[in-house]
Amino acid sequence: MPELPEVETIKNELAPSVVGHSLTGVAIFDEKLVAVGSLEEVHRELIGRKIESLKRRGKYLIFELSSGRSLIMHLRMTGSLLLNPREVDRYARAVFDISGEHRVVFSDRRRLGRIWLVNDADTTVGKLGPEPFDEGYSAEILGQSLSRHRIPVKSVLLDQHIVAGIGNMYADEALFAAGIHPSRRAHSLSRKEVRTLHNCIRAVLEAAINCKGASVDTYVRPEGELGTAHCDFKVAHRRGQPCPACGATIQWIKIQNRGSCFCPKCQSLSSRHTAKGSQRASHSLHNVT
């Protein structure tokens, strides 16, 4: 699933070709794609509108239009936005023609992605939690959120109402970097562990953005290139492989119906290994910054 680094990369790479340009043609092949508004309304309201800006909020892309409305996209599990592809593939659900001879294709193998055409973007994204890179998103804020929950810390990180943009693989990577077992009860983390986790979340996401996201499944960048963040993954998508820090076999467990990869040694649940995990975390954090 495209997470914050992948969606940020898509935004950064699409923006130069679409911002300041107008929509000259819209073809939607799948009615299910449109979450709010009819196909007729989407066509009528988009044609001729200039894209004033392109923003990211959590895992959502927000195209702000000259009409004052916003076209919001969520790629879900397998969606991609392709810029000027040589051909429109069989997974294409929509095609947006843009002045300047540009074309953006919404391709989605599993047909889970959605678009919204709304007057106020907050009606769709307003319930999201703070962005991990927000200036006001401090370790104290993270700690307050964790302290209110007795569910696994991994589940809290995945809750988009608590913090926006973190998905399964980056939650696994951040918890490994912090030396915290994914099934630890959120409220049990010490202040020191919270500070370490806060730093690791930002470091892991920043490193992934610098690598243009992770192409572990269907994710490709707008012009078809792959991201390389997965090449640096320590535990995510590495079930059964040796831990790069200690050599133990990376394990997989299900936490509230989400698979989680972790190192049983570096992220031990025992108090004796928690301290070691915190020491190892500083080494891991150094490697992702």
Query: What's the whole-number mean pLDDT along residues 247-268?
Result: 97
Whether 258 is catalytic is yes
pLDDT digits (tens, 9 = 90+) for 58-100: 999 999 999 999 999 999 999 999 999 999 999 999 999 999 9
Q: For a pLDDT cut of 90, what percent of the chain falls above it? A: 90
CA-closest candidate to residue 48, choices 69, 68, 64, 25: 25
Degrees (nearest 5) of the Cα angle 116, 120, 126? 85
Mean pLDDT check: name the lowest of 107-111, 162-166, 285-289.
Answer: 285-289
Which residue out of 11, 57, 59, 114 is catalytically annotated? 59
Domains and CATH numbers, the chain: 4-125 (3.20.190.10), 139-288 (1.10.8.50)
Whether 3 is catalytic is yes
Which residue out of 3, 6, 8, 173 is catalytically annotated? 3
pTM score: 0.92
Separation CA 115–CA 12 (nearest Å): 19
pLDDT digits (tens, 9 = 90+) for 184-243: 999 999 999 999 999 999 999 999 999 999 999 899 999 999 999 999 999 999 999 999
Which residue out of 76, 111, 185, 258 is catalytically annotated? 258
Whether 234 is catalytic is no
Whether 50 is catalytic is no
Cα 96 to chain center, whole Å?
A: 23
